[in-house]
Amino acid sequence: MAQVNRLLISCVLMILLSPAVTGQKPPPARPGALGVEEATTLAQGWTLLAQGHLQEAAARASRVLTENPRSGAGLMLAVEVEISRTGALAGVAQYERWLGRRTVEEPAVLRRLAVATLREIATERQDPAARIEAIRALIAEGDSGAAGELAQVASEGGSAETRALASLGDERAVKDLIAELDAGPGARVTTIDALGASGNSLAVAPLVGLLGDPRPEVRGAAAPALGKLGDAKLVPQITPMLSDGNLYVRVKAAGALFRLHDYTGLPLLQELMLDPSPSSRLAAAEATSSSPDASWTALVRELTSAPEPEIRAAAARLIAPYDPELSLRVLESLAADQNPAIREMASRGLGEVVTSDLTALRRLMKNSDRLTRVRAAVRVRALTD
């Protein structure tokens, strides 16, 4: 609304200083200047929007676009009305109606839609990770109110919020998760993953303690979490897991060591890369993704055509930093899969694709997955600075 108020003040000043009010003779209009009637209608529209008369403001925008379908000023007003009336997705829809079949994007409008997307998701509670990432993006852009939103999230103390904050390096959240681990045997893989992503050395000791957990899923999560922390001194603690009785744990341990530049488990991973099973080859590709080479890229490209949709989705996410176009094609096709679990994998993976294609990012800002929409919005802002 602050932007609307600034525009309203500008419109008022223009009216007060106009020749009709001051009695001065109006200067001749320069070629290409906005027509008086269009300017007046736009000024009325912004005034009505600032006053909360959204229907009337929409009518003014519609009038301008009817008389001048290519009006950028009319488009901006129409988009702003839809954002105020229904939300960011409605703003995107309005923009796409204006765009039609044209392929050249309007960066200023996309940037406004990206900001609206971030601000909207920053206030929602359905996806804590998306909410926190949106808030952090707004803080990075100097949004003074976003810091208070982040403090509010931290004070809520929900487990999902705590894991999301910890994965972003928040020390208080890391300590809270460690306390959860110490409280009992109910260590969850999601908690372990968040501690690994935190990059905080406080997580080392509790994760090392989980390497001897009787549950293979816990041991198999603790090893790569330690690998992500990046401390080569952890190699002696992880190496014995290469003799674990569970293949899943052995593969995870080999991948953790590989990330720490210890190649003791590499023969196991190389063997899996040649296995006939796509799932085995995918496990090897995931374990060695920290240092990809040409053979790794070839393997992952091949897996994007695997018969199993879950294999294709995982491979597309792996190849995203190196071939975003291929990743987008695979994930967008899987986003229409009949299986809702596959659709969710594809939607979440789309948010990880780093692309400079504004049209692709516009599509991603409509995605059903909030985190994908946030990451697309962040990318649009970076490209339109």
The pLDDT confidence band at residue 285, using thresholds 50, 70 and 90, is: very high
Determine which of 73-77, 143-147, 359-363 has the lowest per-residue pLDDT on average.
143-147
pLDDT tens across 95-128, in order?
999 999 888 999 999 999 999 999 999 988 888 8
Q: What is 157-277's CATH superfamily?
A: Leucine-rich Repeat Variant (1.25.10.10)
Residue 380 has pLDDT above 60, yes or no: yes
Six token digits for residue 34: 């906005």
pLDDT the model gives residue 25: 60
Global pTM value: 0.75
Over residues 196-202, the mean pLDDT reads: 92
Confidence of residue 319 (pLDDT cuts 50, 70, 90): very high
Average pLDDT, the chain: 88
**228 Cβ contact partners less than 8 Å away, ≥ 6 residues apart:** 196, 197, 199, 259
Evaluate if residue 12 carries a pLDDT over 70. no
How far is 340 from 343, CA to CA, in rounded Å? 5
Give the separation between CA 205 and CA 198, rounded to whole angstroms. Answer: 14
**Mean pLDDT computed over 203-227:** 94
Give the closest residue to 40 by CA, choosing from 32, 52, 50, 48. 48
Is residue 223 within 8 Å of 252, Cβ to Cβ? yes
Residue 177, pLDDT > 60, answer yes
Evaluate if residue 59 carries a pLDDT over 70.
Answer: yes
Joined together, the tokens standing for residue 154 give 């931290």
Q: Which two tokens stand for residue 340?
A: 């809702």
Lowest mean pLDDT among 87-96, 157-166, 268-277: 157-166
| Spans of all domains in the chain | 2-23+35-104, 157-277, 292-351+376-385
Residue 5 above 70 pLDDT? no
Amino acid (one-letter) located at 190: T
